[in-house]
Structure formats: C-alpha cells, structure tokens
C-alpha cells in the first residue's frame, strides 16, 4: 500500500540492485534515495532522516565479512530516532543476517528478492515504527501493581524455555514484554525476530516462516531461509497470532509439535531452536473459540500467559509515562523542558486512553512539538476534540473537511469494531497499510 510520507534509503554498492529497488519503491513511497557507499551516509542523513534503510553489508571489492554493513547498522542504531533497518543479504549469508538482527535490524531480505516480499518487509517495518515499536530493547516502565506483576512474571519465565503468550489490547506494550523476556533470557545475545502473523499472505506463509529451496515453486529463484531459521538460537515473536487463518495455524502447529521445519522443496527437515513468544489482542472468549483459534495450537503456545492490563486499569503508571515520553520528545525535537500544569496532569490521568501507551506516547510527541506555554496544557495533547460529541449532533452544517474527518473517523471505528480491535485486519478492511492506519488512529486520537 502506498505511503507518500515514508522515506526509504537504499544503501547498496550494486547499482543494478539499487536501481531495481528504486523503480519498485518510488511508486509507493514519498522519498526513495540510494547510496552506493557508506561514505555518503552523513550527507544523506543530513538531507532527511529515513524511516527505513535497506542495507547491504559489503561495499569494498572482495569484502564478504559484512563488517562494513554492521558498522553502518551500529551508526544508524545510535541516531536519536533510528530508522528501521532491513538487512539485504545473499542466501549464504544467513549467519550475517542473524548478526544484523542481533544488533537491532528489524528484518532481513535475501537477494535477489521477491518484490512482494520486499514491500511486505518495508510495510511491516513502517507499521512497527509508526506504532512506536523499536528494534532496540526499550525499558518497560510502570510501577503499578499490575505492571509489577508483569515484571515479576517476566523475571521468572525468561530463564526458562517455556513458550509465552502475551494478551492485551492494542498498544499496551505486548511487544515490549516480549523483548524484555528475550533480553532476560539465556538467548539474549541471539536474534529477536518479530513476525506480524496477521500480515503474512496466506500463499507465502510457509515460505516466509520455514524458507524454501530454489525451484520449489515458480517464483522460487533461489534458496531462501525462513524466519524460523533466521531466529535460530534466539526468540521468535509471533505477533497478532489471533489473526492467523486456520490453515496456517495447522502448519504452525505441526512445526511446534515436531520441533523441526522443512523448507518448501527440501527433502530433509531442520531442527527448530527458537523460543516462541506470541501475542494477541483477541479477548479470551474469542481466543478460546475453536472456530477462531485451534485449541491444540493454543495449548502449545500458552504454556505461560502474561496479561498486560489496559492503561485505564493502571492509572498510577500514567504520570511516569508522561514524564518519560515528554522528556524523550523534548530532547528529540530540541524543545524546552516543561512541566505539566496541575489541571493537565489531572485530566490526562483521568483520560480513558483507548489506544493505551502507544496513544499516550503519540500524544506526548504532539505536545512536545506544539506546546507553546511554559507548562503543558491538556489541549496540547490533542485529545479533546476527538472525544467530543460528533459536531453533527448540534445540527449545525459541517465544513467539508470536518465532515470528511468525521466520516474517516467513523469508518475507522467501524472497521476496528468489525475486526474485533485487530489493527492488521482493520487496515485490510479499510484498504490502507497498517502504518497508515496507525497514523490515522493517532490523528483521530482513537
């Protein structure tokens, strides 16, 4: 799905590769630039921070160790607002892809790539970035009884190999919990790979997860590793698991039961060595409905269940989260440090936060940029109008842009309701990407 606001940077010394990627991506994204040599990186970054970088790992002739690309990755990760990095590697370089994932790359693509797969990887990276998820391990904040319990569970389950299922509404911090489990586990030095199960096309599900051999289907021009191979030794985070079609659930179950994967077209299975952490925003009544989710797969995945409470049920966490994210964005946008007025703090603590911590984070970003007084006021957070009664209720005619805005908000609310709160599914119903939907949720304060 096109995203005219997205900025993509391709860093590859092979001019043909860079040209092919540009041709493909220019139609979809606002700014697509390429660089043939990391020497030009500082100037490219100064011209505009990219959202996603497609990064090759070897530049100087004859180099195959990937050290140049890893150094660029470290530089990008150290930026105040690091881009999502997708590693471009050759098939034989799976160990390099794994190293890149360990160091904070979001995903990897093997060259020559499949166009749909490349676009899907960029979409997923943009969505995660739009959602405020980071590839670095961020701190899980909150000292409420509910969060203390979550942290205690993380501490006790992390060192085990038990599969963990994390339940909670959108934006409560499920991915953060998954990363914290990985970070406190024996696998911490290995890759953490997040896969949006709701966004995997059914037709390529097996190839994406389990890999394929050259020639196993028409488009299989090269051998390719799947996510299970790339996360070997580390953790695989299966996000939006409640959104998987039943047929895909059966395939996943088979792998988890046998603890081995067979790439498409391969004659031998490979052992699976990954810790599975999964997450869903489905409520438990739906999750336990066999028409939605296979009970035998659920049983495999939910050895341990961690429930992350919505923010409105742990309001004690709100002041610390506000302080944290306001300070973060003041620094990022070089805005003066300000405190919250007592009235603003009170209203923000009483706010229902339907989008949970993600919405709070976005509201803080907006306030840090737009707040013009010595203290932050409630209005700086952009929450009021979205919650007000629809203007049409007054009977007054609407300005066209307001009417359009209201229609958009209503369409989004209806799609979310139809999708049971599932962002990927709602995005599909609306015909927009997850990244675009996240921006619209933010815009409307949903």
Q: Give the binding site for ligand ATP (CB under 6 A).
A: 131-133, 138, 140-142, 168, 170-176, 239, 279, 281, 357-358, 361, 423
Q: Give which of 20, 33, 46 is closest to 109, Cα–Cα.
A: 20
Calpha distance 405→224 (Å, rounded): 44
Helix axes of 174-183 and 145-157: crossing angle, nearest 10 degrees: 40
Closer residue to ligand ATP in complex, CB, 68/175: 175
Q: Looking at beta carbons only, is 130 or 211 nearer to ligand ATP? A: 130
Cβ atoms of 207 and 215 within 8 Å: the answer is no
Shortest Å, Cβ 98 to ligand ATP: 23
Do 51 and 82 meet the contact criterion of CB atoms below 8 Å apart?
A: no
Residue among 149 and 260 whose Cβ is closer to ligand ATP: 149
SS3 content of the chain, % helix, strand, coil (to 5): 50, 15, 35
Name which of 151 and 347 has its Cβ closer to ligand ATP. 151
Bin 66: left if φ > 0, else alpha if -120 < ψ < 50, else beta: left
Rounded to a whole number of angstroms, the minimum distance from the CB of residue 361 to ligand ATP is 5
Number of Cβ atoms within 10 Å of the Cβ of 326: 24
Q: Measured from the CB atom, is 94 or 133 closer to ligand ATP? A: 133
Q: Which is nearer to ligand ATP, 195 or 272 (CB)?
A: 195
Q: Quick one: 94 or 368, whose CB is closer to ligand ATP?
A: 368
The number of residues making up the chain comes to: 446
To ligand ATP, the closest distance from the beta carbon of 420 in angstroms equals 12
- Give 357 or 368: the residue with its C-beta nearer to ligand ATP: 357
Q: Shortest approach of ligand ATP to residue 85 CB, angstroms?
A: 18
- Cβ partners under 8 Å of residue 367, min gap 6: 326, 329, 376, 380, 381, 382
Using CA atoms, how far residue 126 sits from 221, 427, 436, in Å, is: 27, 14, 9
Cβ nearer to ligand ATP, comparing 72 with 360: 360
CB of 432 to ligand ATP, least distance (A): 15
Q: Minimal distance in Å, beta carbon 314 to ligand ATP?
A: 9
Minimum CB separation of residue 356 from ligand ATP in Å reads: 7
**Residue 297 CB-density burial (10 A; 0-12 exposed, 13-18 middle, 19+ buried):** buried
**Residue 324 Cβ vs ligand ATP, minimum distance, rounded to whole Å:** 7
Report in angstroms how near the CB of residue 328 gets to ligand ATP at its nearest. Answer: 10
Q: What is the three-class DSSP state of 2? A: coil
Q: How far is the CB of 234 from ligand ATP (least distance, A)?
A: 18
Cβ closest to ligand ATP, residue 141 vs residue 411: 141
Report the C-alpha gap between 239 and 31 in whole angstroms: 29
The answer to whether 72 and 103 have CB atoms below 8 angstroms apart is no
Helix and strand totals (H; E) in the chain: 19, 14
CA distance 312 to 267: 52
- Within 267-411, strands assigned E span 270-271, 275-280, 304-307, 339-340, 375-376
């Amino acid at each position: 799905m096109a995203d005219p606001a997205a900025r993509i940077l391709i860093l590859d010394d092979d001019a043909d590769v860079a040209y092919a990627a540009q041709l493909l991506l220019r139609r979809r994204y606002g700014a697509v630039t390429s660089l043939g040599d990391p020497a030009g990186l500082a100037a490219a970054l100064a011209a505009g921070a990219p959202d996603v970088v497609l990064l090759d790992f070897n530049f100087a002739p004859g180099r195959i160790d990937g050290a140049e690309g890893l150094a660029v990755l470290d530089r990008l990760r150290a930026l105040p607002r690091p881009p999502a990095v997708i590693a471009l590697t050759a098939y034989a370089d799976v160990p390099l892809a794994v190293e890149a994932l360990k160091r904070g790359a979001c995903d990897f693509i093997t060259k020559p790539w499949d166009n749909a797969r490349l676009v899907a990887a960029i979409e997923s990276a943009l969505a995660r970035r739009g959602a405020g998820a980071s590839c670095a391990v961020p701190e899980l904040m909150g000292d409420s009884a509910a969060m203390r319990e979550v942290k205690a569970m993380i501490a006790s389950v992390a060192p085990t190999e038990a599969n963990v299922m994390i339940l909670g509404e959108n934006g409560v911090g499920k991915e953060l919990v998954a990363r914290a489990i990985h970070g406190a586990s024996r696998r911490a030095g290995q890759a953490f790979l997040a896969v949006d199960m709701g966004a995997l096309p059914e037709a390529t599900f097996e190839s994406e997860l389990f890999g394929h051999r050259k020639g196993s289907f028409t488009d299989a021009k090269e051998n390719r590793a799947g996510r299970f191979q790339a996360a070997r030794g580390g953790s695989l985070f299966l996000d939006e698991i409640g959104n998987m079609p039943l047929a895909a659930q059966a395939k996943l179950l088979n792998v988890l039961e046998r603890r081995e994967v067979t790439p498409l077209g391969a004659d031998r299975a490979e052992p699976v060595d990954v810790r599975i952490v999964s997450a869903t925003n489905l409520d438990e009544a739906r999750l336990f409905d066999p028409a939605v989710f296979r009970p035998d797969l659920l049983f495999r995945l939910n050895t341990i269940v961690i429930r992350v409470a919505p923010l409105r049920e742990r309001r004690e966490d709100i002041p610390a989260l506000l302080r944290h994210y306001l300070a973060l964005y003041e620094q990022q946008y070089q805005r003066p440090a300000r405190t919250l007025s007592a009235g603003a703090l009170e209203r923000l603590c009483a706010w229902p936060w339907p989008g949970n911590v993600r919405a709070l984070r976005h509201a803080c970003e907006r306030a840090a940029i737009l707040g013009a007084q010595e203290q932050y006021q409630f209005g700086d957070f952009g929450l009021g109008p979205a919650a007000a009664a629809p203007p049409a209720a007054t009977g007054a005619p609407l300005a066209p842009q307001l009417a359009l805005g209201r229609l958009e908000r209503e369409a989004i609310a209806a799609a979310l309701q139809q999708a049971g709160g599932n962002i990927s599914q709602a995005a599909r119903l609306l015909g927009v990407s997850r990244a675009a939907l996240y921006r619209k949720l933010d815009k409307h304060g949903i």
